[in-house]
Amino acid sequence: MKPILGIETSCDETASAVLDAHGQILAEVVFSQTKEHAAFGGVVPEIAARAHLKYLPELVRHSMAKAGVACADLGAVAATSGPGLIGGLIVGCQFGKGVAIANDLPFLAINHLEAHALSARLPGLSDHDVAFPYLLMLLSGGHSLCMAVTGLGHYQRLGGTIDDAVGEAFDKVAKLLGLPWPGGPALEALAAEGDPRAFAFPRPMLRRPGCDLSFSGLKTAVAQAIHQRDGIALGQQERADMAASFQQAVLETLADRASNACQMMRTRFPEATILVVAGGVAANRSVRAVLTRAAHRHGFELLAPPPRLCSDNAVMVAWAGLERARAGLIDDIGFKPVPRWPLETLRGATP
């Protein structure tokens, strides 16, 4: 297997990466569109698609040059093809197809969620190989999922959000508190200055069976607490206390859901010993800490990619492509990008 080019354009990060045949990172480049969307307080799909179209060609050229790899040296091209914002998916998928067609290379249509799910298997991220099966908690701005990962392309849903994703809740509460977008990192920083016991926010789904998640009510509770002030602005310490109290409610909820998921995983797959947490929210240090403790209580080891590989990136896309290429799961060049693409519908390798 020769080096593989990865392309990521599913939301508001434009990214390109090159991995060698063993999964070692030769180059990775990410362009964040924060400035393009900051004035709107969130991602504007049309602006995102135009930014991908503008920046992707140069990013790919830059990553290839940085890796010292020409198109003729590649073994395949992998591009995120769903789920995500359809405009961005079309840009990245079609660009990847163009590179593949022009150089007679295999094309791999990568599921963005599977790329997150497999990211912990990237060589060098753990002291040991991450073998199947393992438990996955995927926590991001658009997704909150608990999955049993039993093989390449083989996923069993154990639970997921019934409304807002956890990252979405972080961003919306940050906006309520007047924090800049993207709100998750800003809220985490503000919470470090506050008292997590100052506000008695609800713990959604706490102590309920299963590992479904819900954050809409928690977000609404924060909004109501602000509304009850009748227009009186929050002071800096009050904002910090509210941020800390919100984050604490999230942490206790995630720990409870993770505990249930570990028990479910142990019942179905007794040999499983690893809990992988991935997605943008996995970069939150407090989230990592509370999930580490929850995992250890049930005999699981927590593994998480480094923060830079938790948010959307092309390294995970290239790695997922490499895993699929090794298994012979090459896609038809006519594959059409899709905005919704559940993990459970993927075709997988023969166990």
Q: What is the spatial distance between Cα 142 and Cα 222, in angstroms, rounded to a whole number?
A: 20
Looking at residue 97, its amino acid is: K
With H, G, I as helix, E, B as strand and everything else as coil, classify residue 176.
Answer: helix
| Residue 161 DSSP label | B
Give the tokens for residue 30.
């990410």
The pTM (predicted TM-score) of the whole model is 0.95
> How do residues 160-179 score in pLDDT, each as one tens digit?
999 999 999 999 999 999 99
Please tell me the predicted confidence (pLDDT) of residue 124.
Answer: 87
Give the closest residue to 323 by CA, choosing from 120, 81, 46, 35: 120
Which residues pair with residue 5 across a beta bridge?
18, 77
Give the C-alpha separation, 38 to 32, whole Å: 11
Question: Quick one: pLDDT at residue 80?
Answer: 98
Which of 166, 164, 195, 201 shows the shortest CA–CA distance to 183? 166
Cα–Cα distance for residue pair 321/109, rounded to 1 Å: 8
> Does pLDDT of 128 surpass 80?
no
Residue 126 is predicted with a pLDDT of 76
- Identify which of 348, 350, 351 has the alpha carbon closest to the alpha carbon of residue 153: 348
Quickly tell me which residue has 């890796």 as its tokens. 67
**What percent of the chain has a predicted confidence (pLDDT) above 70?**
100
Q: What DSSP element (H or E) covers 79?
A: strand 76-82
Looking at residue 230, what is its pLDDT? 75
Q: What is the pLDDT of residues 49-62, one digit of tens each?
A: 999 999 999 999 99
Per-residue tokens: 271: 């040999």
In CATH terms, 129-304 corresponds, of 3.30.420.40, 3.40.50.2300, 3.40.50.300, 1.20.140.10, to 3.30.420.40
pLDDT category of residue 246 using cuts at 50, 70 and 90: very high
Over residues 13-34, the pLDDT tens digits come to: 999 999 999 999 999 999 999 8
Q: Is the pLDDT of residue 189 over 90?
A: yes
Please report, to the nearest 10 degrees, the dihedral formed by the alpha carbons of residues 231, 232, 236, 240 taken in order.
-60
Whether omega for the bond prior to residue 339 falls within 30 degrees of 0, making it cis, is no
Q: How confident is the model at residue 129 (pLDDT cuts 50, 70, 90)?
A: confident
**What are the Cα distances from residue 64, in Å, to 77, 123, 159?**
12, 20, 39
Q: What does the alpha-carbon distance between residue 5 and residue 110 come to, in Å, rounded to a whole number?
A: 12
Per-residue pLDDT, 39: 86
Cα separation values, 91 from 96, 114, 332, Å: 9, 20, 17
The count of C-alpha atoms lying within 13 angstroms of the C-alpha of 163, restricted to the half-sphere facing its C-beta, is 10
In this prediction, residue 127 carries a pLDDT of 76
For the segment 179-198, the average pLDDT, to the nearest whole number, is: 95
107-119: pLDDT as tens digits = 999 999 999 999 9
pLDDT in tens, 73-85: 999 999 999 999 9
pLDDT at residue 296, as a whole number: 98
Mean pLDDT of 104-129: 93
CATH of domain 4-119+309-345: 3.30.420.40
Is the confidence at residue 66, as pLDDT, over 90? Answer: yes
Q: What is the pLDDT of residue 125?
A: 83
Predicted local confidence at residue 231, as pLDDT: 74
Residue scoring higher pLDDT (262 or 349) = 262
How large is the greatest C-alpha to C-alpha distance in the chain, in angstroms? Answer: 65
CB-based contact 17:25 (threshold 8 Å): yes
Distance CA 227, CA 62 (A): 49
**Residue 233: predicted pLDDT:** 84
Give yes or no for residue 199 having a pLDDT over 90.
yes
What phi, psi does 302 have (nearest 5°)?
-90, 130
Average pLDDT, the chain: 95
Residues of the chain with CATH 3.30.420.40: 4-119+309-345, 129-304
pLDDT (average), residues 200-211 = 95
